Structure 1
Amino acid sequence: MKLELRHLRVVCAIAEAGSLSKASSLLGLAQPALTAQLHRIEALLGGKLFERDHKGARPTALGELVLERARVLLPAFSRLQEDALRLVDDTVPADRYRVGAVNGPMLGGLVHRLTEAHPGAHVSTQVAWSGQELSAMVAAGRLDYVLVGVCGDAPPPSEHGLTWHVIAVEPVFVLMPEDHPFTLLEEVELAALRDTQWAVVPGDGCFGDCFVAACSRAGFTPRTMYEVDINSCIDLASSGDAVALCQPTFRRTPGLVAMPLAGAPLRWRHLIGWDPEGPAAAFGPQVLRYAAEAYRETAERSPRYSGWLPGHPEYGVVPHRALV
């Protein structure tokens, strides 16, 4: 893992809040997940960033150095994004749907529905690892809608003033070879995978920390986690070198099975956001409905997931009234 801007934001949030408990509330993270993330950041930087006691968290000398640099870098990065976006020509067709998406199951189905229902419209897409990056593009008028995923009850990107709706809530499955003995079970206990290596597609949320916290609740610390692209996840799972954490809608791949984890210890929410003051807001409910239809169709193509859903009614497509 490399040091990223999101890590600097975490360090600044802890310093400003004065304690991990207050910072976890501000960041929308469970305190164990934030503590695990801080430990990973400290491991990257080679020392403790905060002295912690009953009075709160106070920066160490190393922490003060990191905070000093972070308070310069973070505003500079935001200004760079804003200035770069202002230089781009913003002229677009009147009838348009510009959709940004982080890795998810419904972009293709959404594009199909948009082009079918609006044959004269200009539909364009942009994908990225970062929901923050795409949300900033919506706020700047470079995109109309953004599809993101967030872990558990974590909030969506909030600094850009977008309106957010929940499309669907889903459990996290694990991808393993079809000849693995666990594929004969209905569900896999997370603790039964304590000795495995792990693979996951990267993102800018708290999923990695929530996974570590879930493993801790199951009584173990996970071994190596490879952050790789989707194809590498498939390769590592196929070879048996790692169990890949995946969405339950993962497209069927020869030789691999996506298995549910007992008790669904990890949960994922798919969201759509738009600028409530922008012209795209008028069509937001319609695009939300298309996205929900696309998710439902994708879920139905997964026999194991579609068979799992009836026994877990809290998962799947969420009624459109749900608003974040």
Structure 2
Amino acid sequence: MELEFRHLRMIRAIADAESVTKAADRLGLAQSALSTQLKRIEAAVGGPLFERGRKGVQPTPLGILVLERSRVLLPAMRQLREDALRFANTVGEDGGLRLGATPGPFLGTLVNRLDAARPGLVKSTQSSTSVTELATGVADGRLDLALTGCCGHGKALDEDRLAWREIAVDPVFILLAEDHPLARETELEIGQLMEEHWVLPSGESCCGECLAAACVRAGFLPRSVYETDAASCLHLVRSKRAAALCRATFLPPPGLELIPLAASELSWRHLLLWHAPTLACGLTDMLLRHAMAVHVEAVAHSPVYAAWLRKQEEVTARHGGHLTPPPPER
């Protein structure tokens, strides 16, 4: 029997789990099947790879040698597969880009701008609430780039494998029903919403963690947090069953009001992700310029956000370029 990469993955799984039974469970195999494979692998390499110890199975000296080699070979094979997928889906073969984006106003407007600047450049689009799904699509070569984001304190997803640039940072506002008792406020403290239920769009966004942290800083815990699709989120807010966090560029539909938070401690970073070896630098620079222009347009079309920005500028001007008043002189 010739040693194959799947055999190395099995050996790694056994070493990591320190148990053939646990490794078989993680690999989705029967324990007897993995044990049989291990015997064949050991016959192929010329000796036992593991021995039983007090803490479970431990690698023999030969096993240590094979495991050390696998640490080099397995990542190399994974990289080869990703590069091959990317090469098979090379940008520009038919002159088109495949764009992914989280739901919002940016994707459609960006496609319009790119189509005007470079007709036929955009081949297809994909929308997903899952930031992980979009980042994986870019890493695997199924998407050429993605408009995603993360909370203000967060890191770009998969930033070790992907290149990324920040498009803009927006404050996070509150969304309430237009007949909610607090809907006529010009701004809100998070503490004013301590009796509210909350709703967030489903996905791996860290917004839930950010909401909980903001509430804790204000001295309370959220009563409850629902996760559901975007349409259901809007329905729950419109029916006054919940409040929602949303980006400041969001244009609320009829029946809903967008209200700034008094302390802009919650924010959202808009990011452009791509795989650096795939897209030419000039192309990504052009895409970034258009994405930033789209963000500027989105701000201009949001009366609440535009007014909030003007207020921040006035505060900055009053305090000599500082967003917060300078400390008193002693």
TM-score, normalization: structure 1? 0.67
Q: CA deviation at 1:88?
A: 11
Q: CA deviation at 1:141?
A: 2.0
Instruction: Deviation per CA, 1:277-319: give whole Å up to 9, x if none.
Output: 1134430010011111111111211111111012336xxxxxx
**In 2, Cα distance between the equivalents of 1:237 and 1:129?**
19
Equivalent residue number for residue 262 of structure 2: 262
Contact 1:174 1:260 in 2 (8 A): yes
Equivalent residue number for residue 90 of structure 1: 89
**In 1, Cα distance between the equivalents of 2:173 and 2:207?**
13
Instruction: Deviation per CA, 1:169-192: give whole Å up to 9, x if none.
Output: 111111112222322222011001
2:194 counterpart of 1:194: yes
Q: CA deviation at 1:148?
A: 0.9
**In 1, Cα distance between the equivalents of 2:249 and 2:199?**
17
**In 1, Cα distance between the equivalents of 2:196 and 2:237?**
11
Equivalent residue number for residue 275 of structure 2: 275
**Range 121-130 or range 182-191, more displaced:** 121-130
Q: CA deviation at 1:205?
A: 3.2
**In 2, Cα distance between the equivalents of 1:236 and 1:144?**
35
Equivalent residue number for residue 127 of structure 2: 127
Aligned length: 242
**In 2, Cα distance between the equivalents of 1:105 and 1:312?**
24
Equivalent residue number for residue 152 of structure 1: 152
In structure 2, do the counterparts of structure 1 residues 108 and 244 end up closer, same or farther at CA, with 3 Å as the change threshold? same
Equivalent residue number for residue 183 of structure 2: 183
Contact 2:104 2:250 in 1 (8 A): no
Q: Secondary structure at the match of 1:182?
A: coil
**In 1, Cα distance between the equivalents of 2:102 and 2:181?**
33
**In 2, Cα distance between the equivalents of 1:215 and 1:169?**
21
In structure 2, do the counterparts of structure 1 residues 144 and 219 end up closer, same or farther at CA, with 3 Å as the change threshold? same
Q: Secondary structure at the match of 2:182?
A: helix
TM-align CA RMSD: 3.0
Equivalent residue number for residue 205 of structure 2: 205
**In 2, Cα distance between the equivalents of 1:263 and 1:160?**
33
**In 1, Cα distance between the equivalents of 2:156 and 2:223?**
28
Question: Mapping of 1:294-313 within 5 angstroms?
Answer: 294-312=294-312
Contact 1:139 1:160 in 2 (8 A): no
**In 2, Cα distance between the equivalents of 1:130 and 1:255?**
27
**In 1, Cα distance between the equivalents of 2:153 and 2:116?**
34
2:199 counterpart of 1:174: no
In structure 2, do the counterparts of structure 1 residues 87 and 163 end up closer, same or farther at CA, with 3 Å as the change threshold? closer
**In 2, Cα distance between the equivalents of 1:280 and 1:130?**
26
**In 2, Cα distance between the equivalents of 1:281 and 1:134?**
21
**In 1, Cα distance between the equivalents of 2:88 and 2:162?**
22
Q: CA deviation at 1:145?
A: 1.0
Q: Secondary structure at the match of 1:119?
A: coil
Contact 1:110 1:294 in 2 (8 A): yes
Letter aligned with residue 259 of structure 2: M
**In 1, Cα distance between the equivalents of 2:187 and 2:247?**
15
**In 2, Cα distance between the equivalents of 1:288 and 1:87?**
21
Contact 1:104 1:149 in 2 (8 A): no
Question: Mapping of 1:20-31 within 5 angstroms?
Answer: none
**In 2, Cα distance between the equivalents of 1:222 and 1:200?**
12
In structure 2, do the counterparts of structure 1 residues 216 and 122 end up closer, same or farther at CA, with 3 Å as the change threshold? closer
Question: Share of identical aligned residues, percent?
Answer: 42
Q: Secondary structure at the match of 2:222?
A: coil
Equivalent residue number for residue 164 of structure 1: 164
Instruction: Deviation per CA, 1:206-234: give whole Å up to 9, x if none.
Output: 22112111100011000111111111111
Q: Secondary structure at the match of 1:167?
A: strand
Q: Secondary structure at the match of 2:141?
A: coil
**In 1, Cα distance between the equivalents of 2:157 and 2:102?**
13
Equivalent residue number for residue 235 of structure 1: 235
Q: CA deviation at 1:159?
A: 5.2
| Runs (5+) with no aligned partner, structure 2 | 1-17, 28-73, 314-330
Letter aligned with residue 90 of structure 1: N
State which structure, 1 or 2, has the greater radius of gyration over its C-alpha atoms.
2
**In 2, Cα distance between the equivalents of 1:171 and 1:256?**
18
| Runs (5+) with no aligned partner, structure 1 | 1-63, 314-324
**In 2, Cα distance between the equivalents of 1:290 and 1:149?**
17
**In 2, Cα distance between the equivalents of 1:120 and 1:86?**
23
**In 1, Cα distance between the equivalents of 2:190 and 2:288?**
33
Equivalent residue number for residue 142 of structure 1: 142
Q: Secondary structure at the match of 1:165?
A: strand
**Range 86-95 or range 225-234, more displaced:** 86-95
Equivalent residue number for residue 247 of structure 2: 247
Which structure ranks higher in relative contact order (CA pairs < 8 Å, sequence separation ≥ 6)? 1
**In 2, Cα distance between the equivalents of 1:275 and 1:132?**
15
Q: CA deviation at 1:136?
A: 2.1
